[in-house]
Amino acid sequence: MTTTVTVGDLHKVLDILIPFTASDSYEAPTLAAVHIEAAPCRGGLVGQATDRYVVGHMRVNATGDDLAPTLVPRRWAKVLRRALSAVPENTLATLRQIPGRTRSENRLEVSTEPLTISIQIGTGTFPDLSKAFKAAAADGLTAPWGSTRPSSAGSAEPARTSSGSRRAGPFPARRPRSESRSAPRSSAW
């Protein structure tokens, strides 16, 4: 069972989501990891990461078979991102899980034409964030389009928010334009 995605898309997922993970020393290892799951028949490869306060979510196109939920620890995600940066973006990467004797020995193999990387994957269950997004949507909150804001260094940097505010996901939430409280609806439309 393998899933195929371009190196450019996989690098983009890792590049955007690594900043959303908790630090390597955090007591909950599932939050110090990038969660990757692929279901090509349902839209491709989905990556998520959270440090309890902000959430990163990204979807890219993928082909092949489904990839079971995989936790890529932060340090291994950084190694994988660094290795993939030397491979042309349009090269295809094949992802597959390699089962070990025990759950802690499971590995993720990423193969491209010039290289193959096998990394240890994390154990545990990533939090189900869909409930939080559904609750925010039911409350009328939406996230603006886009996934990053440019930093002064020229690289993409995730937009962060604080907890405890009316925000959905990693972006400031806003009410749909038709429900804006700042100005009454104009009858000119």
Calculate mean pLDDT across residues 71-77: 89
Residue 19 in any domain: the answer is yes
Residue 109 in any domain: the answer is yes
**Number of domains the chain is built from:** 1
Tokens describing residue 101: 């004797």
Cβ(31)–Cβ(51) below 8 Å: yes
Which pLDDT score is estimated for 88? 92
Tens digit of each residue's pLDDT (9 = 90 or more) over 142-169: 554 444 443 444 444 444 433 444 444 4
Calculate mean pLDDT across residues 79-100: 91
Tens digit of each residue's pLDDT (9 = 90 or more) over 107-132: 999 999 888 999 888 877 787 777 77
Question: Who wins on pLDDT, 44 or 139?
Answer: 44
Residue 31 in any domain: the answer is yes
Tokens describing residue 182: 């700042």
Residue 42 in any domain: the answer is yes
CATH number at residue 99: 3.10.150.10
Residue 89 in any domain: the answer is yes
Whole-structure pTM value: 0.67
Of 71-80, 85-94, 127-136, the range with the lowest mean pLDDT is 127-136
Q: How far apart are CA 63 and CA 154, in angstroms?
A: 31
Calculate mean pLDDT across residues 97-116: 86
Helix, coil or strand: residue 42: helix
Residue 116 in any domain: the answer is yes
Domain, as residue range, for 54 = 3-120
Of 65-74, 98-107, 122-131, the range with the lowest mean pLDDT is 122-131
Average pLDDT of every residue of the chain: 74
Q: How far apart are CA 62 and CA 59, in angstroms?
A: 9
Question: Who wins on pLDDT, 185 or 128?
Answer: 128
Q: How far apart are CA 95 and CA 116, in angstroms?
A: 10
Residue 175 in any domain: the answer is no
Calculate mean pLDDT across residues 12-20: 90
Percent of the chain beyond pLDDT 90? Answer: 20
Residue 73 in any domain: the answer is yes
